[in-house]
């Protein structure tokens, strides 16, 4: 059986950041009780149907640190009653500096949370302001201090590169400052520009002909810097000290199964996808009680979708995939064309493949989508023949 984890979406935010495309609410703090009731109903519904023991529980958002303590307690106790909480489980909570209070951190710690992911994004005040973040660099340093004081030794910082007008030197400084705080894990994301979002306009205004090259340099610099400072870059946006990779995220990339609860939560198991409504009132209506059947459609994953997920997700990780696993999925040998393609990619420095395994190098990660497409094209062409 593959690993199984649970994600719980807590969509509450103080305001929407200029680049954010997540499913969030900024005016529903008074309705946190109704939201937690809907989550409790979801937990009950799924408990009847899913019998696996989770290896991880991940509270993401939104801003989980904005959930009021009394609702946190209700939610975690419900989860513990239904699914159980064990010391072996990885239990992560995302937090933002301005709401990661000593009170909430200590409550989390007491209830079994053992991993924190702090959304810092950058240490430059003007870039924080461009992103419409609600904290300043001092707020981030103070939050790290509180995380430590609460007794967490497994915690992560999120950084973003490719910010409007950001220089390579500024990115270097962000990495250096992050490293000086000694997080056990660091995520580094390339800014994604969504049409019509305030940050997109700023990024487009600041764009130069070499912006894309600079972002590639930023990515390679991050991989190099983190590796030379004792971090394992175990996925194209994530690095960790040995033993501190995020087990919950690894489960997504390694083909595990998960339940995604809450507004916009999506789940994958029984080789099917389940998507919760993304809109607040529709989500609350769907889970007003414990339904006898799923209140939304189930999408069976086609064989092609499973193949795409396998190649795309595994190639995000530094371990890549074993050719034998791919052959199991295909039900045949990969064939000579595929082996030739691997050799071509290896000669370009994109893969570190051997006879048995395919994994990308940092330059390969820069063209991860293109490589995924070429591999699929080669495998499906063979299938069509
Ligand atoms: S804090 Fe995170 S989830 Fe909330 S609006 Fe900002 S980016 Fe989006």
Structural domains in the chain, sorted by start: 4-252 (3.80.30.20), 303-384 (1.10.10.920)
Atom nearest to 61 CA in ligand 1: 3
Give the 3-state secondary structure of the chain.
CCCEEEEEEECECCCCCCCCCCCCECCCHHHHHHHHHHHHHHHHHHHCCCCCCCCEEEEEECCHHHCCHHHHHHHHHHHHHHHCCCCCCEEEEEECCCCCCHHHHHHHHHCCCCEEEEEEECCCHHHHHHCCCCCCHHHHHHHHHHHHHCCCCCEEEEEEECCCCCCHHHHHHHHHHHHHCCCCEEEEEECCCCCCCHHHHHHHHHCCCCHHHHHHHHHHHHHHHHHHCCCEEEECCEEECCCCCCHHHHHHHCCCEEEEECCCCEEEECCEEEECCCCHHHHHHHCCCCCCCCCCCEEECCHHHHHHHHHHHHHHECCCEEHHHHHHHHCCCCCHHHHHHHHHHHHCCCECCCCCEECECHHHHHCHHHHHHHHHHHHHHHHHC
* Residue 165, pLDDT above cutoff 70: yes
Q: Is the dihedral of CA 137, 142, 144, 147 positive or negative?
A: negative
Q: Quick one: tokens of 180?
A: 């000086």
| Distance of CA 317 from the midpoint of ligand 1 (Å) | 25
Atom nearest to 16 CA in ligand 1: 5
Q: Which of 11, 12, 13, 132 to mutate for ligand 1's pocket (most ligand atoms within 8 Å of CB)?
A: 13
pLDDT in tens, 202-228: 988 888 889 899 999 999 999 999 999
- The residue ranking higher by pLDDT, 90 or 193, is 90
Query: 22 CB less than 6 Å from ligand 1?
Result: yes
**Mean predicted confidence (pLDDT) in 131-158:** 97
* Residue 76, pLDDT above cutoff 70: yes
Partners of 8 in the β-ladder: 59, 261
Query: 97 CB less than 6 Å from ligand 1?
Result: no
Q: Quick one: tokens of 222?
A: 């991050």
* Residue 250, pLDDT above cutoff 80: yes
Q: Which of 10, 11, 61 to mutate for ligand 1's pocket (most ligand atoms within 8 Å of CB)?
A: 61
CB 253 within 8 A of CB 192: no
Mean pLDDT comparison of 171-185, 298-312, 341-355, highest-scoring range: 171-185
**Ligand 1: which residue has its CA nearest to atom 8?**
20
**Ligand 1: which residue has its CA nearest to atom 5?**
16
Q: Which residues contact residue 206 at a Cβ distance below 8 angstroms, ignoring those fewer than 6 apart?
A: 164, 165
Atom nearest to 15 CA in ligand 1: 5
**Mean predicted confidence (pLDDT) in 242-260:** 96
Q: pLDDT category, 314, cuts 50, 70, 90?
A: very high
Please report the pLDDT score of residue 1 as a whole number: 67
Write phi, then psi, for 189 (nearest 5 degrees): -110, 145
* Residue 181, pLDDT above cutoff 80: yes
* Residue 382, pLDDT above cutoff 80: no
| Distance of CA 261 from the midpoint of ligand 1 (Å) | 18
Query: 63 CB less than 6 Å from ligand 1?
Result: yes
* Residue 189, pLDDT above cutoff 90: yes
Query: 193 CB less than 6 Å from ligand 1?
Result: no
Q: Quick one: tokens of 95?
A: 């937090």
Q: Which of 25, 62, 263 to mutate for ligand 1's pocket (most ligand atoms within 8 Å of CB)?
A: 62
Q: Which of 63, 64, 199 to mutate for ligand 1's pocket (most ligand atoms within 8 Å of CB)?
A: 63
* Residue 384, pLDDT above cutoff 70: no
Q: pLDDT category, 69, cuts 50, 70, 90?
A: very high
Give the C-alpha separation, 64 to 8, whole Å. 9
* Residue 353, pLDDT above cutoff 80: no
Query: 24 CB less than 6 Å from ligand 1?
Result: yes
CA atoms within 13 A on the CB side of 316: 17
Please report the pLDDT score of residue 51 as a whole number: 78
Query: 17 CB less than 6 Å from ligand 1?
Result: yes
**Mean predicted confidence (pLDDT) in 235-250:** 98
Query: 13 CB less than 6 Å from ligand 1?
Result: yes
Write phi, then psi, for 264 (nearest 5 degrees): 75, 0
Rounded to the nearest integer, the mean pLDDT of the chain is: 95
Q: pLDDT category, 383, cuts 50, 70, 90?
A: low
Please report the pLDDT score of residue 385 as a whole number: 60
pTM: predicted TM-score of the whole model, two decimal places: 0.95
**Ligand 1: which residue has its CA nearest to atom 3?**
62
- The residue ranking higher by pLDDT, 355 or 135, is 135
Atom nearest to 62 CA in ligand 1: 3
Atom nearest to 19 CA in ligand 1: 7
Give the C-alpha separation, 126 to 55, whole Å. 40
Count other Cβ atoms within 10 Å, centred on residue 297. Answer: 8
Query: 62 CB less than 6 Å from ligand 1?
Result: yes
Q: pLDDT category, 355, cuts 50, 70, 90?
A: confident
Q: CA 103: distance to chain centroid?
A: 26
| Distance of CA 263 from the midpoint of ligand 1 (Å) | 14
CA atoms within 13 A on the CB side of 296: 20
Give the C-alpha separation, 115 to 12, whole Å. 20
Query: 11 CB less than 6 Å from ligand 1?
Result: no
């Amino acid at each position: 059986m593959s690993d199984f984890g649970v994600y719980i979406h807590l969509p509450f935010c103080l305001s929407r950041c200029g680049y954010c495309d997540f499913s969030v609410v900024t005016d529903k703090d008074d309705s946190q009780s109704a939201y937690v009731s809907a989550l409790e109903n979801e937990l009950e519904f799924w408990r009847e149907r899913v019998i696996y023991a989770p290896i991880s529980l991940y509270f993401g958002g939104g801003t989980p640190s904005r959930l009021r303590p009394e609702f946190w307690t209700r939610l975690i106790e419900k989860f513990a009653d239904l699914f159980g909480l064990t010391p072996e489980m990885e239990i992560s909570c995302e937090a933002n500096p301005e709401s990661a209070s000593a009170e909430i951190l200590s409550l989390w710690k007491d209830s079994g949370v053992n991993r924190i992911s702090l959304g810092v994004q950058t240490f430059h005040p003007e870039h924080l302001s461009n992103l419409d973040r609600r904290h300043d660099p001092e707020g981030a340093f103070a939050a790290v201090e509180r995380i430590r004081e609460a007794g967490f030794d497994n915690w992560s910082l999120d950084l973003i590169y490719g910010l409007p007008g950001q220089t390579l030197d500024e990115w270097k400084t962000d990495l250096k400052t992050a490293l000086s705080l000694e997080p056990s894990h660091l995520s580094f994301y390339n800014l994604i520009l969504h049409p019509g979002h305030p940050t997109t306009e700023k990024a487009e205004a600041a764009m130069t002909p070499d912006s894309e090259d600079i972002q590639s340099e930023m990515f390679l610099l991050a991989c190099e810097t983190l590796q030379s400072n004792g971090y394992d870059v175990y996925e194209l946006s994530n690095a960790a000290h040995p033993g501190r990779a995020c087990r919950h995220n690894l489960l997504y990339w390694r083909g595990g199964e998960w339940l995604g609860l809450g507004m916009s939560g999506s789940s994958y198991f029984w080789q099917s996808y389940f998507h919760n409504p993304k809109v607040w009132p529709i989500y609350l209506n769907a889970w007003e009680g414990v339904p006898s059947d799923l209140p939304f459609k189930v999408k069976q994953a086609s064989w092609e979708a499973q193949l795409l997920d396998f190649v795309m997700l595994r190639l995000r990780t530094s371990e890549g995939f074993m050719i034998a696993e791919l052959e199991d999925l295909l039900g045949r040998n990969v064939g000579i064309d595929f082996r030739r393609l691997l050799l071509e990619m290896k000669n370009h420095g994109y893969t570190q493949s051997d006879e048995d395994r395919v994994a990308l190098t940092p330059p390969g990660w820069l063209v991860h989508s293109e490589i995924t497409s070429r591999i699929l094209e080669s495998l499906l062409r063979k299938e069509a023949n």
